[in-house]
Amino acid sequence: MLTFLLALSLQLQPAAAQATPAATPHVTITGNVVKPGEYALTGTTTIVKLLSLAGGLTAGAKKDAIRISRLGHVAMYFDFVEFSKGRNVRQNITLQAGDTVFVP
């Protein structure tokens, strides 16, 4: 009987007491991209790399007003039109865990 109660006690331990693996750092991309969603950060992930991972921009995308939010606030805008012409290439920043990119 004691063995049964001990086994039952171990089964009833709260889930929070169990070890869980650390979450993989990720960024989110939404809006007018082919494959919106969450993407794991692997190595250096820039805005252009994330756009590529997301399958590119859709035909209706507003390419000159891509918004990057960090910690819940708009951190900057990315102008893909200017970037693709070789202008203002420094705007292709490295993304950080938790960043959200919105393509209107």
Largest CA distance in the chain: 77
Give me the residue spans of the domains in the chain.
Answer: 24-103
pLDDT at 42 over 80: yes
pLDDT at residue 22, rounded to an integer: 59
CATH of domain 24-103: 3.10.560.10
pLDDT at residue 103, rounded to an integer: 98
The predicted-structure confidence for 57-97, as pLDDT tens digits, reads as follows: 999 999 999 999 999 999 999 999 999 999 999 999 999 99
The DSSP string of 56-67 is -B-TT--TT-EE
| Alpha helix ranges (H) inside the chain | 2-11, 47-53, 80-84
101, 67 contact by CB (below 8 A): yes
pTM for this model (two decimals): 0.78
**Mean per-residue pLDDT for 23-45?**
95
